[in-house]
Amino acid sequence: MSAAVPAHDSAHHDDHAHAHPTGLTRWLFTTNHKDIGTLYLFFALAMFFLGGSMALAMRAELFQPGLQYLNPEFFNSLTTVHGLVMVFGAIMPAWVGFANWLIPMQIGAADMAFPRMNNWSFWLVVPAAILLVASFFVPGGAAASGWTLYPPLIIQQGISIDMTILAVHILGASSIMGSINIITTILNLRAPGMTLMKMPLFVWTWLITAYLLIAVMPVLAGAVTMLLTDRHFGTSFFNAAGGGDPTMFMHIFWFFGHPEVYIMILPAFGVVSAIIPAFARKPLFGYASMVYATASIALLSFIVWGHHMFTVGMPAAGNLFFMYATMLIAVPTGVKIFNWIATMWQGSMTFETPMLFSIGFLCLFTIGGFSGLVLAVVPVDITLHNTYYVVAHFHYVLVSGALFALFAGAYFWLPKFTGNMYNESLGKLHFWLSVIGFNIAFFPQHFLGLAGMPRRIPDYALQFAEWNMWSSIGAFVFGFSQLLFLYNVIECIRSNRKAADNPWEGADTLEWTHLPSPAPYHTFETAPVVK
């Protein structure tokens, strides 16, 4: 038995145990889900500006025909690293940041299920990003293969490829750990009475996304490991000279790559499903159908990978199967679009910044979906494959889809995250400049693609000059308007405009008025609502 501790000692001991770490120690060793969410969000923001500056360098080169600023190898390296940084460095970590912040609060949990693993999965992302970016500065420069890392091109390049492969491995490990954490948290830590069909849709979309990540990340790891052994250990998985098949890499890569696209967009569906009902002041239309639609999209995403490969010589029956399977995905997606429109129908809507970005998402993501349906038609795709039409299509899905939803979520929950209100006028200016710049940048690329301009080239024929000029102007408008967002976020954190308990008056949603979660040391909590 231990001796009794004097009262004042025990009080002192108690204080010491609950003294919160500050400064660097706090951020390095934190296991608080809100702190880790904040780390992810700021990391994603930094990567977003890095990847964006690469895009602007490419658009500066493409402003007019002829070689102005970049040599062709460097241009191709930019296409590779821009894609990898935006997918693995900006969009995915940003969604994991939202998941960390919101999932425990939305299900009434004290924290994530595995707080230390949560810390680790964030700190793995940082060295991976450093490896990716450092690949520019090694002999030979970054891989000039595009973000898809296709052999045989990738087999012959220098150490930058090995750095990229290692980065992808580390990012995969981080994603798998984060997903295990999210699934365990959602399935085991829900508040009493919160059944699966009572969860906010953001939680549902992340539950499904986490299962997708666990399913496909090991596939990507396998593909890049086979690349690594082809490069250094004498195997011939993808080397035709040794009996391998470069097309096999495409099958393995896209079996990962297509669900990956949905991994980036499903959490966006969850955010928009939280925001539209809040500003329409009515419940989400067709909650159950939204859950089933999300699950259907996730399942179908595994059987459509071949639509990236209509030109590699698959049998006609294979092309036909992938064409119809791809068109089938439009059905549950259409259900979601219909439900969001029905939610807004006859609602008493107001148009604050989060709602504007959500409506922007709705309109522009739908355009991306329609251009995807165009590309699903085999003969059309054979003509348009690897042209700027494809670039336009996936930027409509990933920029006006995933990124706009991220902005919407950031503005919607910033008062919750910081306790302060952001500058609404600046937010609206950011929205309008983004939406105008984005459309000027990417809509003309449909015309360039239809006219036959190939992607991933630093120079082009004179006939493409005018639309490329417009596209570059739009890209710079879009790019520089993101500085407004950065300023608004920092100004919001540092301002003293205290947000109300529910800043969106009348928007009485689960997100604002459900179960409280323990406050971290630096954010306010909403007052518990008396039912």
Round to whole Å and give the CA distance between 372 and 201: 25
Q: What are phi and psi of 387, to 5 degrees?
A: -105, 175
Asked, for residue 341, whether it belongs to a domain, the answer is no
* Residue 296 within any structural domain of the chain: no
**Cα 370 off chain centre by:** 20
Report the distance separating Cα 154 and Cα 226, nearest Å: 12
- Residue 141 phi, psi dihedral angles, 5° rounding: 75, 180
The pLDDT value recorded for residue 494 is 94
Q: Quick one: average pLDDT of 274-285?
A: 94
Cβ partners under 8 Å of residue 234, min gap 6: none
**Residue 109, in any domain of the structure:** yes
- What is the pLDDT at residue 156? 78
* pLDDT of 14: 43
Q: Is residue 452 part of a domain?
A: no
Average pLDDT of the residues of the chain: 91
Residue 66 to residue 493: CA distance in whole angstroms: 45
- Taking only the tens place, the pLDDT of each residue in 458-502 is 999 999 999 999 999 999 999 999 999 999 999 999 998 898 888
Tell me the per-residue pLDDT of 506-522, one tens digit each, with 9 for 90 and over.
544 444 444 344 433 33
Q: For the chain, give the percent of residues with pLDDT over 90.
A: 85
Q: Is the torsion defined by CA of 97, 77, 214, 221 positive or negative? A: negative
Burial class (CB in 10 A: 0-12, 13-18, 19+), 486: middle
Mean pLDDT of the 406-425 span? 96
Please name the residues in contact with 388: beta carbons below 8 A apart, sequence gap of 6 or more: 445, 446, 448, 449, 453, 454, 455
Angle between helices 287-300 and 246-280 (to 10 degrees): 170
pLDDT score recorded for residue 6: 43
In a domain, 380, yes or no: no
66 within domain boundaries: yes
pLDDT tens readout for residues 367-385: 999 999 999 999 999 999 9
Those residues whose C-beta lies under 8 Å from the C-beta of residue 64, and which sit 6 or more positions away, are: 465, 468, 469
> Is residue 143 in a domain?
yes
Domain count, the chain: 1
Q: Which residues are tagged catalytic?
A: 82, 111, 147, 174-175, 258, 260, 262, 273, 307-308, 333, 336, 455
pLDDT at site 139: 86
Q: Does residue 80 belong to any structural domain of this protein?
A: yes
CA distance 119 to 130: 18
Which H, E and C letters describe 244-295, residue by residue?
CCHHHHHHHHHHHHHHHHHHHHHHHHHHHHHHHHHHHCCCCCCHHHHHHHHH
- What's the confidence (pLDDT) of residue 15? 44
Provide the domain limits for residue 69: 26-199
Residue 105 confidence class, pLDDT cut points 50, 70, 90: very high
Alpha helices in 140-245 (DSSP H): 159-188, 201-232
How far apart, in whole angstroms, are the C-alpha atoms of residue 341 and residue 331? 15
Is residue 525 scored above 70 in pLDDT?
no
